[in-house]
Protein backbone atom coordinates (compact mmCIF):
# COMPACT_ATOMS: atom_id res chain seq x y z
CA UNK A 1 0.00 0.00 0.00
CA UNK A 2 1.40 3.39 -0.92
CA UNK A 3 0.45 6.87 0.15
CA UNK A 4 0.61 9.77 -2.26
CA UNK A 5 0.13 13.37 -1.32
CA UNK A 6 -1.50 15.29 -4.16
CA UNK A 7 -4.30 16.38 -1.84
CA UNK A 8 -3.80 18.01 1.54
CA UNK A 9 -7.34 17.91 2.89
CA UNK A 10 -9.62 14.94 2.86
CA UNK A 11 -12.99 16.76 2.56
CA UNK A 12 -14.50 16.56 -0.95
CA UNK A 13 -17.74 18.16 -2.20
CA UNK A 14 -20.48 15.82 -3.36
CA UNK A 15 -20.68 17.83 -6.60
CA UNK A 16 -17.03 17.10 -7.34
CA UNK A 17 -17.69 13.39 -6.95
CA UNK A 18 -20.70 13.57 -9.26
CA UNK A 19 -18.60 15.40 -11.87
CA UNK A 20 -16.30 12.38 -12.10
CA UNK A 21 -18.55 9.91 -13.85
CA UNK A 22 -16.65 8.75 -16.90
CA UNK A 23 -13.27 7.20 -17.70
CA UNK A 24 -11.88 10.46 -19.11
CA UNK A 25 -12.57 12.68 -16.11
CA UNK A 26 -12.27 9.72 -13.79
CA UNK A 27 -14.88 7.55 -12.15
CA UNK A 28 -15.43 8.19 -8.46
CA UNK A 29 -17.84 6.50 -6.09
CA UNK A 30 -18.68 6.88 -2.45
CA UNK A 31 -18.43 3.89 -0.15
CA UNK A 32 -19.36 4.65 3.45
CA UNK A 33 -18.64 8.37 2.88
CA UNK A 34 -15.12 7.65 1.54
CA UNK A 35 -14.54 8.87 -2.01
CA UNK A 36 -12.93 6.16 -4.12
CA UNK A 37 -11.30 6.64 -7.49
CA UNK A 38 -12.29 3.49 -9.40
CA UNK A 39 -11.19 4.74 -12.84
CA UNK A 40 -8.74 1.87 -13.39
CA UNK A 41 -10.56 -0.76 -11.37
CA UNK A 42 -14.14 -0.34 -12.58
CA UNK A 43 -13.91 -2.38 -15.80
CA UNK A 44 -12.20 -5.16 -13.86
CA UNK A 45 -14.72 -5.46 -11.01
CA UNK A 46 -15.28 -9.22 -10.78
CA UNK A 47 -19.06 -9.05 -11.25
CA UNK A 48 -18.85 -6.32 -13.88
CA UNK A 49 -18.80 -2.54 -13.95
CA UNK A 50 -22.56 -2.21 -14.28
CA UNK A 51 -23.31 -3.22 -10.69
CA UNK A 52 -21.21 -0.34 -9.43
CA UNK A 53 -22.37 2.16 -12.07
CA UNK A 54 -26.02 1.41 -11.17
CA UNK A 55 -25.37 2.13 -7.51
CA UNK A 56 -23.35 5.23 -8.16
CA UNK A 57 -25.95 7.86 -7.32
CA UNK A 58 -26.26 6.52 -3.82
CA UNK A 59 -23.50 5.98 -1.38
CA UNK A 60 -22.56 2.30 -1.33
CA UNK A 61 -23.14 1.08 2.19
CA UNK A 62 -20.36 -1.21 3.29
CA UNK A 63 -22.63 -2.79 5.90
CA UNK A 64 -25.12 -4.12 3.40
CA UNK A 65 -23.53 -4.24 -0.06
CA UNK A 66 -20.20 -5.48 1.08
CA UNK A 67 -21.73 -8.53 2.73
CA UNK A 68 -21.63 -10.00 -0.78
CA UNK A 69 -17.88 -9.48 -0.83
CA UNK A 70 -15.23 -11.67 0.69
CA UNK A 71 -14.05 -10.83 4.20
CA UNK A 72 -10.57 -10.04 2.89
CA UNK A 73 -12.08 -7.57 0.38
CA UNK A 74 -13.73 -5.69 3.21
CA UNK A 75 -10.57 -5.91 5.34
CA UNK A 76 -8.42 -4.47 2.54
CA UNK A 77 -10.86 -1.59 2.19
CA UNK A 78 -11.04 -0.96 5.93
CA UNK A 79 -7.24 -0.92 6.27
CA UNK A 80 -6.98 1.67 3.51
CA UNK A 81 -9.69 3.76 5.25
CA UNK A 82 -7.74 3.66 8.53
CA UNK A 83 -4.60 4.77 6.75
CA UNK A 84 -6.49 7.62 5.12
CA UNK A 85 -8.02 8.67 8.45
CA UNK A 86 -4.59 8.67 10.09
CA UNK A 87 -2.92 10.79 7.40
CA UNK A 88 -5.67 12.75 5.61
CA UNK A 89 -3.84 11.88 2.40
CA UNK A 90 -4.69 9.94 -0.73
CA UNK A 91 -4.20 6.22 -0.15
CA UNK A 92 -3.78 3.87 -3.11
CA UNK A 93 -4.25 0.17 -2.67
CA UNK A 94 -5.03 -3.03 -4.60
CA UNK A 95 -7.45 -5.88 -4.01
CA UNK A 96 -5.73 -9.23 -4.33
CA UNK A 97 -8.17 -10.54 -6.97
CA UNK A 98 -7.57 -7.53 -9.22
CA UNK A 99 -4.03 -6.67 -8.32
CA UNK A 100 -3.02 -5.04 -11.62
CA UNK A 101 -5.39 -2.11 -11.03
CA UNK A 102 -5.21 0.21 -8.07
CA UNK A 103 -8.02 1.93 -6.20
CA UNK A 104 -7.47 5.22 -4.37
CA UNK A 105 -9.23 6.77 -1.43
CA UNK A 106 -9.24 10.46 -2.33
CA UNK A 107 -11.03 11.83 0.71
CA UNK A 108 -14.43 11.91 2.34
CA UNK A 109 -17.75 13.62 1.76
CA UNK A 110 -19.79 15.14 4.54
CA UNK A 111 -22.27 12.31 5.34
CA UNK A 112 -25.06 14.85 5.84
CA UNK A 113 -24.74 15.88 2.17
CA UNK A 114 -25.67 12.35 1.05
CA UNK A 115 -29.18 11.28 0.19
CA UNK A 116 -29.26 7.78 1.55
C1 LIG B 1 -14.08 -0.64 -3.79
C2 LIG B 1 -14.22 -1.71 -4.55
C3 LIG B 1 -15.55 -2.35 -4.84
C4 LIG B 1 -16.78 -1.77 -4.93
C5 LIG B 1 -17.16 -0.28 -4.80
C6 LIG B 1 -17.72 -2.83 -5.20
C7 LIG B 1 -19.09 -2.65 -5.35
C8 LIG B 1 -19.99 -3.66 -5.60
C9 LIG B 1 -21.42 -3.47 -5.72
C10 LIG B 1 -22.17 -2.15 -5.56
C11 LIG B 1 -21.96 -4.69 -5.99
C12 LIG B 1 -23.43 -4.99 -6.19
C13 LIG B 1 -24.09 -5.45 -4.92
C14 LIG B 1 -25.56 -5.62 -5.15
O15 LIG B 1 -25.94 -6.16 -6.19
O16 LIG B 1 -26.32 -5.20 -4.27
C17 LIG B 1 -20.88 -5.65 -6.05
C18 LIG B 1 -21.02 -7.00 -6.31
C19 LIG B 1 -19.99 -7.91 -6.38
N20 LIG B 1 -18.63 -7.66 -6.17
FE21 LIG B 1 -17.83 -5.85 -5.75
N22 LIG B 1 -17.04 -4.03 -5.29
C23 LIG B 1 -15.71 -3.77 -5.07
C24 LIG B 1 -14.68 -4.69 -5.03
C25 LIG B 1 -14.80 -6.03 -5.30
C26 LIG B 1 -13.71 -6.98 -5.29
C27 LIG B 1 -12.24 -6.66 -4.96
C28 LIG B 1 -14.22 -8.18 -5.59
C29 LIG B 1 -13.41 -9.45 -5.67
C30 LIG B 1 -13.84 -10.60 -5.28
C31 LIG B 1 -15.66 -8.01 -5.83
C32 LIG B 1 -16.57 -8.98 -6.18
C33 LIG B 1 -17.94 -8.83 -6.34
C34 LIG B 1 -18.86 -9.89 -6.69
C35 LIG B 1 -18.49 -11.34 -6.98
C36 LIG B 1 -20.14 -9.31 -6.71
C37 LIG B 1 -21.46 -9.99 -7.06
C38 LIG B 1 -22.18 -10.38 -5.80
C39 LIG B 1 -23.57 -10.85 -6.16
O40 LIG B 1 -24.12 -10.42 -7.18
O41 LIG B 1 -24.10 -11.64 -5.39
N42 LIG B 1 -15.95 -6.68 -5.64
N43 LIG B 1 -19.70 -5.00 -5.82
Domain residue extents for the chain: 2-109
pLDDT of residue 1: 47
Spacing, Cα 45 to ligand 1 middle (Å)? 7
CATH fold of the domain at 2-109: Flavocytochrome B2; Chain A, domain 1 (3.10.120)
Closest CA to 90 of 76, 70, 103, 105: 105
pLDDT of residue 62: 61
Spacing, Cα 69 to ligand 1 middle (Å)? 6
pLDDT of residue 6: 54
Q: How confident is the model at residue 59 (pLDDT cuts 50, 70, 90)?
A: confident
- How far is 74 from 71, CA to CA, in rounded Å? 5
- How far is 28 from 88, CA to CA, in rounded Å? 18
pTM of the model: 0.88
**Region 19-38 average pLDDT:** 91
List strand residue ranges (DSSP E) for the chain, in order.
2-4, 21-22, 26-31, 34-37, 90-93, 103-108
Q: Is the CB of 45 under 6 A from ligand 1?
A: yes
Amino acid sequence: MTITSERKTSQIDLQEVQDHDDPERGFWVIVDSYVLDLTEFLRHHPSGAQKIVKRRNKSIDIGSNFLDHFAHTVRTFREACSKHDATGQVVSFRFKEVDQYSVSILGKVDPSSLLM
